[in-house]
Amino acid sequence: TKVLELRVEAEAVAPSNIAIVKYWGKRNTELNLPLNSSLSVSLDSLWVRSKVIFDEGFERDVVTINGNKLSDGEVKDYAGKVLDIFRNFYGRRIYARVESSTNFPSSAGLASSAAGIAALVIASNEALGLNLSKRELSKIARIGSGSACRSLFGGFVKWNKGELENGEDSFCEEIFTPDHWPNLVDVIGIFKEERKKVSSRSGMQSTTLSSSLLKCRLEFVERTFGEVIDSIRTRNAKLFFELTMRHSNSMHAVILDSWPPLNYLNDRSFRVMEWVAEFGRAGYTFDAGPNPHIFTLEEDVKEVTEFLESEGAVKVIISKIGKGPYIIS
Ligand code: 2P0
């Protein structure tokens, strides 16, 4: 007689996040242990929904994003790392099918891996009935993809770099709630561009190996981290915008200092940087991609939006600070 095979499933939603203090460089590539602590906000307009099905009858992990199947290599490097950890908890080899969907077009050049991994971690914990804490879950998400650990929370999130070699103290926490700064807005310009050629993962490895400015950047992050937190605590917009821009510049400076040549900014990025700095009531930040995120206060959203449109943005997404992930019952 055939023994019944276990099959459990759950579905969760998690927000994308954008870093103010950026993560760039690892001290351990296996566990995604960062060289510096980082700070992000969770975005309420950009989210990913992940459904996971664990079934003892499956023979390998299969992951689709917006209906497109990932290659085995892509699965192994991201979701597979997370699924391996849950398999260990479960104590048996049990494979999964993961279906993720984004509420924004995947062609928009907006990273979805952080939110997708975060949603997968929340869903897996639920499906297997493990009841792990958010802190523990953020460590699991971190192993899938560094920035994913920040999408385990809403509001303003700090990822503590930690000191330990095993990563047990490298986790995230919400430092201010989603409603802490209600009139703060992220205005995201979407530009038509081919996908970035160098992934963040390999770009940050290259910077770690070759940039001699990286040491100065790490000192800068260390020195100004408290100031960034204070600017948020006191809702000091002018200071927050300034520090947001300086932290973006600092990351892109060490990227430009990397060898072989590496750069994620283009002519338009520099025009955006100039306009925003001149405007005086907003702050830009750029990830390893073409889309500027411009933080501003509600009353200035219209002017910022019009500027992005005048620069040829095909779409402008306006996002407030959002809540953390949740289970869909
Ligand atoms: C960040 N980025 O703090 C920085 C700023 C992009 C620029 O974290 O190798 O996908 O999976 O840990 O998290 C993007 O890199 O890299 C990123 P892995 P990840 O958001």
For residue 196, what pLDDT is reported? 61
For the four alpha carbons of 239, 287, 141 and 30, in that order, the dihedral sign comes to: negative
Question: For the chain, how are helix, strand and coil distributed in percent, rounded to 5?
Answer: 40, 25, 35
| Mean pLDDT value across the chain | 96
Does the C-beta of 42 come closer than 6 Å to ligand 1? Answer: no
For residue 1, what pLDDT is reported? 59
Q: What does the pLDDT look like over 233-292, one tens digit per residue?
A: 999 999 999 999 999 999 999 999 999 999 999 999 999 999 999 999 999 999 998 899
For residue 187, pLDDT over 80 is answered with yes
Q: Return the percentage of the chain with pLDDT > 70, whole number.
A: 98
What is the number of the ligand 1 atom nearest to the C-alpha of 38? 3
Of the candidates 299, 291, 272, the residue with the CA atom closest to the CA atom of residue 184: 299
Calculate mean pLDDT across residues 153-174: 98
Does the C-beta of 150 come closer than 6 Å to ligand 1? Answer: no
Does the C-beta of 285 come closer than 6 Å to ligand 1? Answer: no
Does the C-beta of 23 come closer than 6 Å to ligand 1? Answer: yes
Residue 246 CA to residue 14 CA, distance in Å, equals 28
For residue 108, what pLDDT is reported? 75
Go through the domains of the chain in sequence order and give each one's CATH number: 7-181 (3.30.230.10), 187-319 (3.30.70.890)
Q: Return the percentage of the chain with pLDDT > 90, whole number.
A: 91
Burial of 297 (0-12, 13-18, 19+ CB in 10 A): middle
Does the C-beta of 112 come closer than 6 Å to ligand 1? Answer: no
For residue 2, pLDDT over 90 is answered with no
For residue 192, what pLDDT is reported? 85
For residue 98, what pLDDT is reported? 98
For residue 296, pLDDT over 70 is answered with yes
* 3-state helix/strand/coil string of 227-263: HHHHHHHCCCHHHHHHHHHHHHHHHHHHHHCCCCCCC
Task: Answer whether 326's CB lies under 8 Å from 49's CB.
Answer: no
Partnered with residue 11 across adjacent β-strands are 51, 328
The preferred substitution site among 16, 41, 198, 200 for testing ligand 1, maximizing ligand atoms within 8 Å of CB, is: 200
Q: For residue 2, report the distance from its CA to the centre of ligand 1, in Å.
A: 45
Confidence of residue 3 (pLDDT cuts 50, 70, 90): low
Q: What does the pLDDT look like over 195-232, one tens digit per residue?
A: 668 999 999 999 999 999 999 999 999 999 999 999 99
Does the C-beta of 32 come closer than 6 Å to ligand 1? Answer: yes
For residue 193, what pLDDT is reported? 76
Calculate mean pLDDT across residues 289-301: 96
For residue 145, what pLDDT is reported? 98
Q: What does the pLDDT look like over 57-113, one tens digit per residue?
A: 999 999 999 999 999 999 999 999 999 999 999 888 899 999 999 998 877 778 789
For residue 162, pLDDT over 70 is answered with yes
The preferred substitution site among 147, 195, 221 for testing ligand 1, maximizing ligand atoms within 8 Å of CB, is: 147
Quick one: CA torsion of 21, 23, 28, 30, rounded to 10 degrees? 130
What is the number of the ligand 1 atom nearest to the C-alpha of 147? 13
Residue 112 CA to residue 106 CA, distance in Å, equals 8
- How far does Cα 130 stand from its chain's mean position? 24
Calculate mean pLDDT across residues 139-153: 98
The closest residue, in CA terms, to atom 15 on ligand 1 is 200
Does the C-beta of 81 come closer than 6 Å to ligand 1? Answer: no
For residue 231, what pLDDT is reported? 99
Q: For residue 201, report the distance from its CA to the centre of ligand 1, in Å.
A: 7
- How far does Cα 32 stand from its chain's mean position? 13
For residue 233, what pLDDT is reported? 98
Calculate mean pLDDT across residues 40-51: 98
